[in-house]
């Protein structure tokens, strides 16, 4: 049986797959780096969780914040505390790999997912904090516009709120446009990371299948996000996209094993890292094993799976109205950003 450290190190050292640590907590991040992580994911929820669950670790940083922050300014200031500390921790990785790895995400206000000006201004502020910060933007029509502009300016972006193949393709294509603009201006294009929130796809379709009284089974549901992720990976490989896929929101160690070997990144939460310790995972790539055709056929009976699975399942103007996008936006706002606004500072 593979040990926790052994499997994760095997993943990073013996396959094309690399992985990021999915938590903003400094202690958890150190453990993640010791297991082979080469980057870190944060979001408003994770930032709020570390600031409130480990207050002693943040006492000095919070006491140094200026007084009188507005409701709009406070969440950004708190996120800045979390991401700058992580960026410092990851700086050696960033320097050793010459900017290939060692990034930390800083997410813009999820309540502004359709506001191009607000997102661009926040992206510029976050990017200025450290060279290894990658700004998290939503894959909405507005977010794609901001991605292109940021790329042209040399600002690294991680495109989140992404649940399907169409969104992954849209990210890669808009990144290409921005990269060409950067090159024409004599700049080196920055890194771009294209997220697939795999486990959230499963969670959402499970509710849809129950409501529809569908014949889709629970084992089918647990492969929905895998089917989407594998298809996105195949298309990225075939088209030679320069953006880097980042599969996130794992729900089990076996999902990690099913994607092992792909030329992309995984974002793995400490809970899943811990579960890997007790899992008998095969040390062989699983990325090229297809999802059974009958499973995909049953899932195709759910229109929301079709939207996520098909390369033309959605147009950019549809992204923000997709049910799972609205659910996730609400969670990021209500469980993250709004709680950061309401925090009482020392």
pLDDT in tens, 232-253: 999 999 999 999 999 999 999 9
What mean pLDDT is reported for the chain? 96
pLDDT at 4: 44
pLDDT in tens, 16-70: 999 999 999 999 999 999 999 999 999 999 999 999 998 999 999 999 999 999 9
pLDDT in tens, 76-124: 999 999 999 999 999 999 999 999 999 999 999 999 999 999 999 999 9
Query: pTM for this structure?
Result: 0.96
3-state SS of 8-62? HHHHHHHCCCEEEEECCCHHHHHHHHHCCCCCEECCHHHHHHHHHHCHHHHHHHH
- CATH number for the domain whose boundaries are 4-339: 3.20.20.70
The beta strands (E) that lie in 186-249 are given as 192-197, 244-248
What is the distance in angstroms between the CA of the first residue and the CA of the last residue of the chain? 47
pLDDT at 37: 95
pLDDT in tens, 131-168: 999 999 999 999 999 999 999 999 999 999 999 999 99
pLDDT in tens, 261-271: 999 999 999 99
CA distances from 165 to 37, 74, 139, 181, 235 (A): 26, 35, 12, 25, 9
Q: What is the CB neighbour count within 10 angstroms for residue 16?
A: 13
Q: What is the CB neighbour count within 10 angstroms for residue 331?
A: 15
Q: Which residue has the tokens 């007790």?
A: 278
Distance of alpha carbon 276 from alpha carbon 260, whole angstroms: 13
Q: Do residues 303 and 27 make contact, with C-beta atoms less than 8 angstroms apart?
A: no
pLDDT at 194: 98
Q: What DSSP line would sit under 151-196, residue for residue?
A: HHHT--EEEES--SHHHHHHHHHHHHHHHHHHHHTT-PPPPEEEEE
Is the pLDDT at 290 greater than 80, yes or no?
Answer: yes
Is the pLDDT at 3 greater than 70, yes or no?
Answer: no
Going by pLDDT thresholds of 50, 70 and 90, the confidence category of residue 9 is: confident
pLDDT at 277: 77
> Residues 191-212: what's their mean pLDDT?
98
pLDDT at 346: 84
Distance of alpha carbon 122 from alpha carbon 106, whole angstroms: 10
What's CA 170's distance to the chain center, in Å? 16
Is the pLDDT at 5 greater than 60, yes or no?
Answer: no
């Amino acid at each position: 049986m593979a040990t926790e450290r052994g499997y994760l190190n095997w993943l990073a050292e013996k396959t094309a797959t690399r992985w990021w640590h999915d938590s903003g907590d400094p202690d958890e991040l150190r453990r993640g780096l010791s297991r082979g992580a080469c980057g870190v994911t944060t979001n408003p929820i994770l930032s709020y969780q570390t600031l409130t669950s480990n207050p002693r670790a943040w006492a000095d940083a919070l006491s140094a914040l200026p007084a009188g922050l507005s409701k709009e300014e406070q969440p950004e200031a708190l996120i800045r505390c979390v991401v700058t500390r992580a960026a410092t921790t990851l700086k050696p990785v960033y320097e050793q790999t010459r900017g290939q790895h060692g990034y930390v995400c800083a997410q813009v206000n999820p309540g502004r997912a359709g506001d191009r000006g607000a997102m661009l201004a926040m992206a510029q502020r976050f990017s200025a904090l450290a060279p290894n910060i990658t700004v998290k933007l939503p894959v909405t029509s507005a977010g794609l516009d901001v991605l292109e502009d940021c790329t042209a300016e040399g600002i690294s972006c991680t495109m989140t709120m992404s649940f399907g193949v169409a969104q992954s393709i849209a990210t890669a294509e808009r990144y290409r446009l921005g990269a060409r603009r950067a090159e024409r201006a004599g700049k080196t294009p920055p890194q771009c990371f294209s997220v697939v929130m795999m486990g959230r796809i499963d969670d959402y379709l499970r509710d849809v299948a129950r409501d529809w009284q569908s014949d889709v089974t629970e084992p089918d549901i647990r492969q929905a996000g895998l089917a989407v992720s594998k298809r996105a990976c195949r298309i990225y490989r075939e088209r030679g996209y320069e953006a880097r896929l980042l599969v996130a929101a794992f729900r089990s160690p076996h999902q990690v094993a099913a994607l092992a070997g792909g030329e992309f990144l995984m974002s793995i939460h400490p809970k899943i890292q811990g579960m890997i310790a007790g899992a008998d995972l095969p040390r062989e790539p699983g990325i090229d094993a297809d999802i059974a055709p009958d499973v995909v056929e049953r899932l195709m009976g759910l229109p929301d799976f079709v939207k996520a699975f098909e390369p033309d399942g959605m147009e950019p103007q549809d992204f923000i109205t997709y049910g799972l996008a609205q659910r996730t936006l609400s969670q990021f706002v209500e469980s993250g950003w709004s709680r950061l606004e309401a925090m009482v500072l020392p």
